Amino acid sequence: MLKLPIYLDNNATTPLDPRVLDAMIPFFTEVYGNAASRNHPFGWAAEEAVDYAREQIAQLIHCDPKEIIFTSGATESDNLAIKGVFEMYAQKGNHVITATTEHKAVLDTCKHIEKLGGRVTYLPVNEQGLISLEELEAAMTPETILVTIMYGNNETGTIQPIQEIAKIAHKHGALFMTDGTQAVGKIPVDVIADGIDLMAFTAHKMYGPKGVGALYVRRKSPRVKVTAQMDGGGHERGMRSGTLNVPGIVGFGKACELARLEMAQDAERLSKLRDHLEKELLTLEESYVNGSVERRLPHVANISFKYVEGEGLMMGVKDLAVSSGSACTSASLEPSYVLKALGLSDDLAHSSLRFGLSRFTTDEQIEYAIGHVKEAVTKLREMSPLWEMHKEGIDLNSIEWAEH
């Protein structure tokens, strides 16, 4: 029996895998020691569990366990990496390069360092959401200390050419950081092969618990250091103080182990399911895929349905939990900056839905979603003056719309 609503917002967060929960439970009530307590068995047991999780995580991204710094999540990791590098490498330079489609945790952190005297270049993207390697190369200066470009985009799933970006950064003596939040656990991410120096990622996007994330900080060639942004007991090799979230970390470790073992089959199944969803929805007239179809995370589809408004559409697809590129719920009425950066007009950005599939998404759920979305789009278009004008052959750009 199909249970409604159907959760298809897995880029926002994923459900916890029951196997992850099983691994975590003993660490709430039985093994509750502080991993930093070195003088009794309660602390040793907690530390042992944390070390094991560190190994599980390191195996997934192909790094040394010592290179994992635990944080509260990807936002904190992004902050620590960018601010930490900016402070640590201040003598070398003050220039950071990023892209306009980054997550706010990166963009707003860059804004912050601009206030501190940093200089930031925000690279534009093409209609697929990809940065230009030539533009990156041209933006590099002797003062560039960090290039930070996300692995896979949260709204469109577009995967940037990470290895090529890393090579350009290194050629000019800069560090390369990536926000791997949406990619890690979904596609193979290998920090050695990819040339990554710092990477932010989090448990709750890969069937782990919320409230725990990590920053990968390379220890060899080069040895990367970041200035701590949280002062205290000097945990995590002095880079992030604060008592470790042992149950969370255990869950993160288990989630990484499951991802490593099951990623290939999950990705194959989900990309087929996603492609089916997309193919069916594109049979609706005037519907468009946003982002790159060739270079994309396997579980994401972002589609604009022209002439219907995103929030109205969300209400029409009430049996689905999805996300819209329309920010009509906020007073600003600003549509998604990511979609706008791809060159979408405001009205197309307003008209988009993002579908994020998960390990737990079934064929039956996707079949239902297809019918439900088609019905809602059709109904709303019958109600839409823009659709009527379009059908009459009126060019909407020829109309002088009242500003408001």
Binding site for other proteins (CB under 8 A): 307-312, 315-316, 326, 328-331, 333, 335, 345-347, 350, 382-388, 396, 399, 401-404
Work out how close the CB of 374 gets to other proteins at its nearest, in angstroms, rounded to a whole number: 17
- To the question of whether residue 11 is assigned a binding role by annotation, the answer is no
- To the question of whether residue 75 is assigned a binding role by annotation, the answer is yes
DSSP 189-200: --HHHHT-SEEE
One-letter amino acid for residue 55 of the chain: E
How far is CA 103 from each of CA 28, 154, 178, 202, 322, rounded to the nearest angstrom?
32, 8, 11, 14, 18
Task: Report the catalytic residues.
Answer: 328
Q: Is 40 helix (H, G, I), strand (E, B) or coil?
A: coil
Work out how close the CB of 11 gets to other proteins at its nearest, in angstroms, rounded to a whole number: 20
- To the question of whether residue 74 is assigned a binding role by annotation, the answer is yes
| Dihedral class, residue 73 (left if φ above 0, else alpha if ψ from -120 to 50, else beta) | left
If one counts every other C-beta atom within 10 angstroms of the C-beta of residue 20, the result is 23
Residue with Cβ nearer other proteins (110 or 339): 339
| Dihedral angle of Cα 332, 307, 357, 79, to the nearest 10 degrees | -20
Work out how close the CB of 373 gets to other proteins at its nearest, in angstroms, rounded to a whole number: 16
- To the question of whether residue 243 is assigned a binding role by annotation, the answer is yes
- To the question of whether residue 91 is assigned a binding role by annotation, the answer is no
Residue with Cβ nearer other proteins (282 or 333): 333
Residue with Cβ nearer other proteins (29 or 330): 330
Residue with Cβ nearer other proteins (197 or 309): 309
Alpha-carbon distance of 107 to 90, in angstroms, equals 19
Answer whether 70's CB lies under 8 Å from 240's CB: yes
Residue with Cβ nearer other proteins (25 or 399): 399
Work out how close the CB of 387 gets to other proteins at its nearest, in angstroms, rounded to a whole number: 8
Alpha-carbon distance of 360 to 175, in angstroms, equals 37
Alpha-carbon distance of 7 to 200, in angstroms, equals 25
- To the question of whether residue 328 is assigned a binding role by annotation, the answer is yes
Work out how close the CB of 72 gets to other proteins at its nearest, in angstroms, rounded to a whole number: 27
Query: What is the strand order of the sheet 198-202 is part of?
Result: 68-71, 213-217, 198-202, 175-179, 144-148, 95-99, 119-123
Q: Which residue positions form the known binding site? A: 74-75, 154, 182, 202-204, 243, 328
Q: Which residue positions form the known binding site for [2Fe-2S] cluster? A: 328
Q: Which residue positions form the known binding site for pyridoxal 5'-phosphate? A: 74-75, 154, 182, 202-204, 243
